[in-house]
Structure 1
Amino acid sequence: MRQIITVIAILFTLASCQTENKPIVSATFIDSLLSHYSDTAMHIASATETQFWKNRIDPANPGLVNEIKYASGLVNHFQLTGNIEHLLMADSILHAADMAFNQKEAGPKLAMVRNSILQHRFKEADSLLQQAKVIGIKNYESASMGFDVAFELGHYGLAEFGLKKMAGQTDYGYHFRKAKLAHYKGELDTAIASMHRASELAAGNIYLKQVALSNEADLHLHNGDGQQANDLYVQSIRLQAVDLHSITQLGWIALQHDKNDSLAEKIFRFVQSKTKAPDVLFKLAQVAEARGDSLQQKKWANEFVSIVTTTAYGNMYNKYLLDLYTGILHEPAKAEAIAARELLNRTTPQTYAWYVWALHCNNNAAAAEKVYQQQVSGKPLEGLELYWMGKYMQAQNKGFTAKQFFKAAYKNRYDLGPSMVNDLNKALAE
């Protein structure tokens, strides 16, 4: 009987290995997607809509509707093209409208809240939201945007309170936010189910459907399920091919799971040709990392840094910068400065973990330990922070605690760069 059980166990292990090694991303699908991809119609539609509202603005007689619609069009164009200047211009338009009405209208402020969140200016978003509430806004806006701001600031109790106030089993926004909160709590099954429900409730709105599908895919990726994530990204792309996030994520699965760096690079370079957003430069650095090409990795890393450290991007890419400065670029003092600056923007277990890691890398051991004990220990973390805290514990010869962090990080391995995953595998094999 024991021999039968042993044979079954071996067969199960072999089957698992074969499943694990089987490529997920279809090169045929990617070839077809890239060869037939066209974003011309969407660019024209976006530009036409934006220009329409711009033309309706009368500088001599400032209004609200045209200005807010124009700003919204600029934000949509930013999301389509990755051109940060469109987002900054939207800010300028909204600020002018706000001042034209002596800051007594809620509309411009609510739009500025959304833009501030996009730009990771979370305390500014909170201030604007409070001003809008004083003026008077709808209960749903107060609850939903209250959740968004509180969640980003790390005020999770307030976020949950806002979520309860907007509770509605047939509301897209409620289920979308419920998924975010569940993910933070580590309740991935609940998060996935809620995001799936949001995708069902999107009905005929392709944009909302794609946002929910790609976020559901991201959650599956956080859960280590590359196949399910791939299927959802493909489903989103089939709805509307102009979904650069999902396309990029297919490249990431190709790199991390399939070990197909050529296909990953092909996808990332295609995305690079379609957007001005700098994110893909970071991905190209990770392709070089997977290849062990440190010179090329540094080239892409420095190009990324030169863009995202300009004033236009503010704090939008601090996490990426911290990764690079404590990694391939070896500039721990800059990492510490960025982590400290991020804490002025938001104080969450994640951002405190960034600070611990940066302090450790910059040889500020006592400060790192104090922050860890007070702000990080026992708190929910995501893949990158779990890995960093594992390395932090490893450096202190706390092997058992380090391994617990590494085990948790392995479940989130798609959040980690290629060399981190390799390091994680070695640590867990010891």
Structure 2
Amino acid sequence: MILFLVSCQQQETEFKTNRQDYDIYLAAAPAKATSKYFQLWDDKIKSDSVQLLSLGNVASEYNRFFSGTGNIQYLKDAERSLKKAVEIAAVGKAGYLRALARNYISQHRFREALELAEKARSFGSGVNETQSLLFDLHMELGNYDLANQYLDSIQNMSDFGYLIRVAKWNDYKGDLDTAIQFMEKATARAESSKNKGLLLWSYTNLGDFYGHAGRIEESYNLYLRALRIDPQNAYAKKSIAWIVYSHERNGREALRILDSIMQKNQSPEYYLLKAEIADFMNNDMLRVQALDDYYKIVGNNPQYGDMYNVYNLDFLLEMDVEQKAYKLAQEEVNNRPTPESYGWLAYSLLHMGEKKKALDLVEKHVMGATFEPAILHQAAEVYKANGLMEKVRELKQELLEAVYELGPIKEAQIAGL
């Protein structure tokens, strides 16, 4: 009887979302791809323009439009403006080089971005900004020792940029508690500055960290705070949809939220999440349609470049196109030789029946080098295929603690390990 009462109490106190909290934001108008001064600045950019200030302002607006709409053309337009700014700038060139490098990071053109960052460093101005950029790039490229050196070079416990990077570093090292502590300090700095951009970034990223730590209600409340600042913020809405889907197992409501985002934002990854939720709901027709819509967008637009390589790998393996997945995984390792990239390469080899080669990659490049649950799940599959059940059991326990992050579909797969 006592156990029954305790169980009932836990069920009553377990956190649940309330659609009244976020419905107002689902009805928010689409993000505007214009602004008060945008046309004025844009009109000044001609083929022979030397309007440097306008080029920088227009690029910034294009980045904002891309974030709001998911339209890849805006990111490419920002690149075009920044390349021209770099070309004509006599003063402040390092700043434009860094801005163009960050644009390339968004496009997953990491090696090109690194060349720009190194060039920016040679000008000797904005040293702290360049060192921060180099930390970000070497983390993306898997050069973790170098990244750590750049992190040490910008150490400043009162600086927002340093705090978010040391949080990222501790998350990479698998120390989530310390990562959260630093992210909380960064959020406090953002709140004291009252800078909306920093607040949005802080609330959504701290919300992610809380979710990984199982602090779902705190995570949810931070996404709501982000939406109070920016009612169109697609990332915060998607994160709430994930809570509804993964924590509450309410696929229908998660799809309703997701559909409201997709009416206003063109980012292709929403179709993959829709396919996953449809799979959870055993709606095979909706799942196939969502996957087909994803492929039509990404597969037919070369402007996406390498941005969706990992998503495409997952898609190709889902479609049993193992050889294509393997070639793409090789490209991704060449592009960014991180433990995650090697994990996908091993997983594609496993799908091709090359379980020994897959095991070799996992042992050399994945285990002990990443704490990413999705990659560790792939490693567990490789161990299982090679009959190393003791290692599977060790990973299974760790993965069961990350089921919220992985989602219900992956949870079922982990249970079968």
Q: Which residue of 2 aligns with 1:225?
A: 215
Q: Which residue of 1 aligns with 2:306?
A: 315
Q: Supply the distance in 2 between the matched residues of 1:352 and 1:200 (Cα, whole angstroms).
A: 36
TM-score normalised by structure 2 residue count? 0.92
Question: Within 5 A, what are the aligned runs for 1:7-406?
Answer: 10=3, 14=7, 18=11, 22=14, 24-35=16-27, 37-39=28-30, 43=32, 46-57=34-45, 59-100=47-88, 105-202=93-190, 203-309=193-299, 310-327=301-318, 329-406=319-396
Are the equivalent residues in 1 in contact too, given 2:136–2:147 (CA < 8 A)?
yes
Are the equivalent residues in 1 in contact too, given 2:65–2:74 (CA < 8 A)?
yes
Gapped runs of 5+ residues in structure 2? none
1:102, distance to aligned residue in structure 2 (A):
9.2
Are the equivalent residues in 2 in contact too, given 1:382–1:412 (CA < 8 A)?
no
TM-score normalised by structure 1 residue count? 0.90
Could you tell which deviates more after superposition, 249-258 or 156-165? 156-165
Q: Supply the distance in 2 between the matched residues of 1:138 and 1:109 (Cα, whole angstroms).
A: 11
Could you tell which deviates more after superposition, 180-189 or 362-371? 362-371
1:15, distance to aligned residue in structure 2 (A):
5.9
1:24, distance to aligned residue in structure 2 (A):
2.2
1:410, distance to aligned residue in structure 2 (A):
2.5
Are the equivalent residues in 1 in contact too, given 2:26–2:261 (CA < 8 A)?
no
Are the equivalent residues in 2 in contact too, given 1:143–1:165 (CA < 8 A)?
yes
- Residue by residue over 1:339-383, the C-alpha shift from the partner in whole angstroms, topping out at 9 and shown as x without a partner, is 111111111111111111111112223322222222123222311
- Residue by residue over 1:165-220, the C-alpha shift from the partner in whole angstroms, topping out at 9 and shown as x without a partner, is 22222211111111111111111011111111111111211221111111011112
Are the equivalent residues in 2 in contact too, given 1:49–1:73 (CA < 8 A)?
no
Q: What is the RMSD computed on CA atoms of the aligned residues?
A: 2.3
Q: Of residues 403, 409, 413 in structure 2, which corresponds to 1:419?
A: 409
- Residue by residue over 1:229-265, the C-alpha shift from the partner in whole angstroms, topping out at 9 and shown as x without a partner, is 1122122222332221111111111111111111101
Q: Supply the distance in 2 between the matched residues of 1:16 and 1:125 (Cα, whole angstroms).
A: 53
- Residue by residue over 1:380-406, the C-alpha shift from the partner in whole angstroms, topping out at 9 and shown as x without a partner, is 231111111111111222222112222
Task: Please give the secondary structure, in 2, of the residue aligned with 1:326.
Answer: helix
Are the equivalent residues in 2 in contact too, given 1:179–1:191 (CA < 8 A)?
yes
The residue identity in structure 2 corresponding to 1:316 is: M
Are the equivalent residues in 1 in contact too, given 2:204–2:222 (CA < 8 A)?
yes
**Compared with structure 1, are the counterparts of its residues 43 and 364 closer, same or farther at alpha carbon in structure 2 (3 Å cutoff)?**
same
Task: Please give the secondary structure, in 2, of the residue aligned with 1:355.
Answer: helix
1:103, distance to aligned residue in structure 2 (A):
12
Could you tell which deviates more after superposition, 413-422 or 69-78? 413-422
Q: Supply the distance in 2 between the matched residues of 1:12 and 1:166 (Cα, whole angstroms).
A: 53
Identity level (%)? 27
Are the equivalent residues in 2 in contact too, given 1:349–1:381 (CA < 8 A)?
no
Q: Supply the distance in 2 between the matched residues of 1:49 and 1:383 (Cα, whole angstroms).
A: 45
1:146, distance to aligned residue in structure 2 (A):
1.2
Are the equivalent residues in 1 in contact too, given 2:44–2:51 (CA < 8 A)?
no
Task: Please give the secondary structure, in 2, of the residue aligned with 1:274.
Answer: coil
The residue identity in structure 2 corresponding to 1:255 is: Y
